[in-house]
Chain A
Amino acid sequence: MVELTRVSANSGASRSRVRSAVPTTAGVVGTAARSLLSRFGAILIRINPFTLFWLLIVAILILPIVLFLAVAFSPRLLDQGTEWFTLSAFAQAVNGQLLLGLLHSLVIGVTTAVASAAVGFLLSWVVLRTNAPGRRIWTGVVFALLLTPSYLIALGWERLVEPNGVLQVLGWDPIWLRDVIYGPVGIVIVLTVKGIPFAFLAISNAMRGLGHEFEDAARVHGGGRIASLRIVLSLLAPAVWSALAIVFAESVSDFGVASTLANDAHFPVATYSLYNAVQAFPVNFPVASAVSWVLLILVVLALLAQSRALRGRSFRVLGGRSRPVLRVQLSRGAKVLCTLALFILLVISLGVPTFGAISASLIDGLGSLAGTHQWTLDNYQRVIVSPDLSQPLLFSAELAAITATVTLVLAVVCARLLANKGGSFGGRILDLVLLAAVALPGIVFAAGYIFAYNLPLTNTLGIHLYGTTALLVLAYLATALPSTSRVLVGTMSQIQESMSHAARVHGNGAIRSWLSIVLPVTARPMLSAWLLTYTATLLELPVSQLLAPPGSLPISVGITSTLAKYDFGGGTAMEVLAILSALAVVGVAYLLFKLIAPAGWRRIGRSA
């Protein structure tokens, strides 16, 4: 608990430490870089009319990360040390506490991947292949889990089982459960819950395309029940590998659990060591960079394993023409068992965090010895009245709206470039950059930003963004752009080119054609993409934690820092209000779309 106070308090102070840790002489390098930049710019102007767009991509996606990753090998190049080339940062990273953190991350990642894939597989089978009652709600549950940040799930558990927590207030002191949750098992549970949606989506997609005929064919050609099961398993193997790889990558990259539950349990993991290296005194960028390298290598290895598993036997070729599957008719006993299992899963995944947050927000003075510990709405009243508690949500909502809007515009451009048939050179580069950025852990991103925009070089170039809201928004933008672009590529590549051509040929200019044809056709996916970005940005943690400007806290930092001050009621009330506000925005947006959009717009995306 004491640890928590250190997480987010005094971010202003640590920022000034960061600034003073970076020497401020780099005139020569600056001039050289400036002329290099202008030459690069000139080349871009000649090649591509989207010069501004590309400069932005370079500035927000490529440069910060490349510079940050370079400092692990060459501290001198970026004024972080005396050596031009050294591996000493790596030597430090694989030693002592840092090594322990990396090993913990690795073990947690593997365990979580296996657990999520197993649960995801069983869940897919029950939902898609049986007539178990209540299977239909799981699509919704999976998407809710996908959108819920891991730190909120962890915080829900903590509120329930901590000393003087909700359960104790309710009259049961869960001593053994507390020991389990505050430790590797609890971390694995939370990350597994977070991994289930990824595993479920990967495996259920494959299972859906897998018609019954493969099993039938195995039986008809003389294989028994076991043989046909083996056929199905080997057909699904690529999907299972995918699930393992994605969940592993997500788990080792996770910062939300690392900064809450793992930190409170004094269980060091790599992402938190990385955070400490750039935030706590003495700031050590080369070591942070080295840890990032190791994380990145783990993630890339996992994704390579995935693409290897998918190569040549992608389950997609099985889709399309496969016939619908027959559901297994469960016996009464099996149904009861299934329902029970699904119920327990629902309680562990969504129930506990929801109950933890809501109940904690309704108890007076939870976490402190003061207060009546009675049911009350006081916490909500305080959050609404006190600017300290209400400001973060308003601040984050504003930033999220700005980020979502700008991201949407850029993502449409990216998606358009990516969807171009044949693929221009620029399109392929962009594809690579966005793919790499999706794989990059959020905390590495944030650290890269702190580093790059704090460099003397950056100052020499006249860029003074460090510690501003603008930089925070840029970082949000950079984190959101890759996934939002990916989401929109599908939509953009579905647009027949001839539809816009037809609009031009029949007498409308480029802009009017776009507004009257492309916009209506893509309105719904664009709205969804906006909402996705808005929700993700609103509750985003790692970038907010490292880049929040002095004086204004984003909601995620506001929640964790309020909790760190043992105001559990206030913190959880903020959390509940933040989630309710996100749900309200989503609800209102879809409602408005339904009410305002012309009938034709609403038809798109619905099956005929």
Chain B
Amino acid sequence: MAKDREIGMTTIERDVNTEAHAAEVARGHRVRVRGVRKRYGAVEALAGIDLDIEAGKFMVLLGPSGSGKSTLIRGIAGIERFDSGTVQFGEATMSDQRKHSPAERRDLSMVFQDYALWPHMTVEQNVGYALRRRHLEPVARRQLVNETVERVGLEAKLKSYPGELSGGQQQRVALARALVARPALLLFDEPLSNLDADLRERLRVEIATLTREFGATALYITHDQSEAFALADEIGVLRAGVLEQRGTPEQIFRNPATPFVAQFTGIAGSFSGRAAGDRDGYFRVRVGDHELPCTAAAGVNPGVLVDLLVRPTATSLAVRSATDEMLIPGIVVDVAFRGRGYEHVVETGYGRLTSVFDTRPWSRGSDCAIRIDPDGCIAYPHKPS
């Protein structure tokens, strides 16, 4: 089987004649986006975005709806045209002020949020459609389709029509269709958001493993931070048409550059305080009677008002103590069983924290205290809202 696929690959490589492939044959595209802008009437969807994706890397763009991520991926796909800016795959320019290569000349493929399977074609025909550009012999073509459909576990459904499949199966067909022609760039437009939780996790694993196995460069957009952290080699956080931060999942999580990035990647709550200064290796922030160690973001200087954003993972519950200044006293408002343990909502004198984890439940209304890990507690200069 492995040998057969080798033959399939060489056939493909010999036959490709798209612009993009002429520039870079062997593996994924290196994608280079510079200063792209797009405006819909009065709304600026993209306000000048720069983006680089190394060949073969998995990039996830994370952002809320309306942040411009769909516009960006559609522009990169060639479905829409940017108002300005350039897009390059490898050395080949896909679009700039004068040029706009249509989608079919970019050697890429895409998995859509609504699957976008063609209802008049069987699974086999849907997947095979993407191979038309490769001009394969019928036998090689059928073999490649069968293999790819087998990889997504739908070999029994080859002759079925999309209407006869479940949502998860349909999206697996879409994934097979995207993979079958070994494109140099794979685009994912929120492919999991129409699926329920259990399916979403299983399909996410398939996307992660198959994409890397096929060696394509991948660009994936989502509004779900857990999806982004699980899939990405690198994450970009988009907000209102601007790329707020780029980095590895770890960098984004540990050092979110802006309060927006921190909020969008998950916080338990926030406190207001005044920056005190460095002490014992940590930056200190005065919150009421407490001086909390934390991580300072850029622009936080002693004396300024700050917002402290707390990650859920940085919180833990403890018994109140009059002597320990690090402990913030609170009252348990609600408790929710989460399988591995319990998440609590705690009301403190400075604000409410949610998703405070403990392996044992604390009863509603009981007194407690919260300890906060300085690594998951980030101070930003206060912005009056």
Interface residue count for A (Cβ, 8 Å)? 24
A residues 406-464 with Cβ under 8 Å of B?
none
User: Which residues on the B side are within 8 Å of A598 (C-beta)?
Assistant: 120
Known: A603-B161, A608-B164. A505 touches B119 (CB 8 A): no
Known: A499-B118, A603-B120. A505 touches B79 (CB 8 A): yes
Question: How many angstroms between the C-alpha atoms of A583 and B191 in the bound complex?
Answer: 47
User: Which residues on the A side are within 8 Å of B112 (C-beta)?
Assistant: 498, 501-502
Interface string of B109-128 (1 = CB under 8 A from A): 11011101111111001000
User: Which of B1-9, B100-108, B206-214, B244-252 lies on the face that meets chain A?
Assistant: B100-108
Is A505 touching B120 in the complex (CB atoms < 8 A)? no
Is A516 touching B119 in the complex (CB atoms < 8 A)? no
Is A604 touching B116 in the complex (CB atoms < 8 A)? no
Contact of B181 among A507, A517, A604, A608 (CB under 8 A): A507
A residues 509-546 with Cβ under 8 Å of B?
509-510, 513, 516-517, 520-521
Is A604 touching B103 in the complex (CB atoms < 8 A)? no
Is B119 touching A603 in the complex (CB atoms < 8 A)? yes
User: Which residues on the B side are within 8 Å of A498 (C-beta)?
Assistant: 112-114, 116
Interface residue count for B (Cβ, 8 Å)? 34
Is B118 touching A517 in the complex (CB atoms < 8 A)? yes
User: Which residues on the A side are within 8 Å of B178 (C-beta)?
Assistant: 506
Please tell me if A140 contacts chain B, counting CB pairs below 8 Å.
no
Contact of A505 among B110, B122, B125, B132 (CB under 8 A): B110
Known: A509-B104, A510-B102. A501 touches B114 (CB 8 A): no
Of chain B, the residue at the smallest CB distance from A523 is B120
Interface string of B261-288 (1 = CB under 8 A from A): 0000000000000000000000000000
Is B121 touching A501 in the complex (CB atoms < 8 A)? no
Please tell me if B200 contacts chain A, counting CB pairs below 8 Å.
no
Give the distance to chain B from A587, nearest Cβ to Cβ, in Å.
24
Of chain B, the residue at the smallest CB distance from A518 is B118
Of chain B, the residue at the smallest CB distance from A600 is B120
Question: How many angstroms between the C-alpha atoms of A508 and B178 in the bound complex?
Answer: 14
Please tell me if B37 contacts chain A, counting CB pairs below 8 Å.
no
Is A499 touching B116 in the complex (CB atoms < 8 A)? yes
Of chain A, the residue at the smallest CB distance from B107 is A507
User: Which residues on the B side are within 8 Å of A502 (C-beta)?
Assistant: 110, 112, 116-118, 177
Question: How many angstroms between the C-alpha atoms of A517 and B116 in the bound complex?
Answer: 11
Is A507 touching B79 in the complex (CB atoms < 8 A)? no
Please tell me if B303 contacts chain A, counting CB pairs below 8 Å.
no
Is B114 touching A504 in the complex (CB atoms < 8 A)? no
Please tell me if B87 contacts chain A, counting CB pairs below 8 Å.
no
Is B133 touching A507 in the complex (CB atoms < 8 A)? yes
Of chain B, the residue at the smallest CB distance from A607 is B163
Question: How many angstroms between the C-alpha atoms of A517 and B125 in the bound complex?
Answer: 12
Please tell me if B68 contacts chain A, counting CB pairs below 8 Å.
no
Please tell me if A601 contacts chain B, counting CB pairs below 8 Å.
yes
Contact of A496 among B107, B109, B116, B122 (CB under 8 A): B116
Of chain B, the residue at the smallest CB distance from A507 is B133
Question: How many angstroms between the C-alpha atoms of A501 and B187 in the bound complex?
Answer: 12
Question: How many angstroms between the C-alpha atoms of A521 and B118 in the bound complex?
Answer: 8
Please tell me if A503 contacts chain B, counting CB pairs below 8 Å.
yes
Is A506 touching B177 in the complex (CB atoms < 8 A)? yes
Can you list 23 A-B pairs with a CB-CB distance of less than 8 A? A496-B116, A498-B112, A498-B114, A499-B116, A501-B103, A501-B110, A502-B110, A502-B118, A503-B118, A505-B78, A505-B108, A506-B132, A506-B181, A507-B18, A507-B107, A507-B132, A507-B133, A508-B104, A508-B132, A509-B102, A600-B119, A608-B163, A608-B164
6 nearest interchain CB pairs?
Answer: A507-B133, A600-B120, A498-B116, A504-B103, A506-B130, A502-B116
Beyond the given A501-B79, A506-B110, please list 8 additional residue pairs across the A-B interface where CB-CB is below 8 A.
A498-B112, A501-B116, A502-B118, A503-B118, A505-B108, A506-B130, A507-B107, A608-B163
Seen from chain A, the residues whose Cβ lies within 8 Å of a Cβ on chain B are 496, 498-499, 501-510, 513, 516-517, 520-521, 598, 600-601, 603-604, 608
